Amino acid sequence: MSPVREKFMWYTYILQSNKDKRWYTGCAADLRKRFKEHNDGLAPSTKGRGPFKLIYYEACINKDDAFAREKYLKSGMGKRYLKNRLKRFLSLTG
């Protein structure tokens, strides 16, 4: 069996609000479903800030690794990493 199909993935993701341009960092097993929940105003953490665009995500096989990565990306060093990683995107969006 394909290693990609064997396990399910956990996703750490970054959304950008089209309304206030602020970022939201989250973690989910079903990224498409969670993204829809954010855009439909069903996620209390981002309610009223949508619509959103997905600007970055990472996939992990292990749930704990995904949540640890979310915690890191919310830290000062993690934010610096993201700004460097997304510098081309950020230069296009001003």
> 10: domain CATH number?
3.40.1440
Provide the domain count of the chain. Answer: 1
Residue 88 pLDDT more than 90? no
Residue 80 pLDDT more than 70? yes
Four-CA torsion 81, 74, 67, 11, nearest 10 degrees: -60
pLDDT average, residue stretch 34-44: 96
Residue 1 pLDDT more than 50? no
Q: How far apart are CA 62 and CA 1, in angstroms?
A: 19
Q: How far apart are CA 27 and CA 58, in angstroms?
A: 9
**Residue range of the domain that includes 25:** 3-93
pLDDT average, residue stretch 44-58: 95
What value does the mean pLDDT of the chain take? 91
Please answer whether residues 52 and 14 qualify as being in contact, where contact means their C-beta atoms are separated by less than 8 angstroms.
no
pLDDT average, residue stretch 51-55: 96
Residue 47 pLDDT more than 50? yes
Please answer whether residues 22 and 50 qualify as being in contact, where contact means their C-beta atoms are separated by less than 8 angstroms.
no
3: which 2 tokens?
Answer: 């290693």
Tell me what percent of the residues of the chain surpass a pLDDT of 90: 83
Q: How far apart are CA 86 and CA 84, in angstroms?
A: 6
Tell me what percent of the residues of the chain surpass a pLDDT of 70: 90
